[in-house]
Chain A
Amino acid sequence: DAGVTQSPTHLIKTRGQHVTLRCSPISGHKSVSWYQQVLGQGPQFIFQYYEKEERGRGNFPDRFSARQFPNYSSELNVNALLLGDSALYLCASSLSPNAQRTEAFFGQGTRLTVV
């Protein structure tokens, strides 16, 4: 069975550019969450989507946006990239948005470097 897949695995962008990161959840999982992990820190919550609707948003600027498609895959978009956006971006999928009752599985992440 395929786990959570993210693409691309690595990306280098220049300040001011925009980037789109993609995530395919585990088959049957309807909830997708996005996290940003900068070096030396734990992952920070960015967005959660369930059944194509935004269920939660972390403390990130409006440059960050996301969406979920009918097949439950998801995209994270970041506009006007800053050097500080360099991080590992993780996608997690779960059966439902309630992590209390269902384990969240993470993809291998997209490592974004902004130069």
Chain B
Amino acid sequence: RKEVEQDPGPFNVPEGATVAFNCTYSNSASQSFFWYRQDCRKEPKLLMSVYSSGNEDGRFTAQLNRASQYISLLIRDSKLSDSATYLCVVLNQGGKLIFGQGTELSVKP
């Protein structure tokens, strides 16, 4: 079983739609959680950290459920520019970032 598992993609949605990505992690001792965004053939960039209390950044909302070892990302009012691959990332006890496979999002006009 992979340490970090994400929804299979691709997600194809129209502009303005709300889309949710889910992620589970296997190591209950994981310390920190993140969502990264990766554009085609580019490097990953930090989108947001994920906190147990949930956090919001504009149209993006991230949630963490430690009991279920579950992380989510909600994107409201999707824009064409949101098209990218979204990577669920977990920091393990050794300080290593463990990436999920990534979920591809394509927002269509």
Contacts and interface: CB of A to CB of B under 8 A. Distances in A.
A25 interface: no
Interface residues of B, number: 19
Contacts of B19: none
A90 B43 CA distance: 7
Contacts of B98: 45
Interface stretch (B53-61, B62-70, B71-79, B99-107): B99-107
B45 A106 contact: yes
A54 B52 CA distance: 31
Q: Is the interface of A mostly helix, strand, loop or mixed?
A: loop
B42 interface: yes
Given A41-B101, A41-B102, A56 B43 contact: no
A64 to B, nearest CB: 15
A53 interface: no
A42 B102 contact: yes
Contacts of B96: 33, 45, 48, 56, 58
Interface of B: 4, 31-32, 42-46, 87, 91, 94-102
Given A43-B44, A44-B99, A58-B96, 17 more contacts: A33-B96, A40-B101, A41-B102, A43-B99, A45-B98, A48-B96, A90-B43, A98-B95, A99-B32, A100-B32, A100-B91, A103-B46, A104-B97, A106-B43, A106-B45, A107-B43, A108-B43
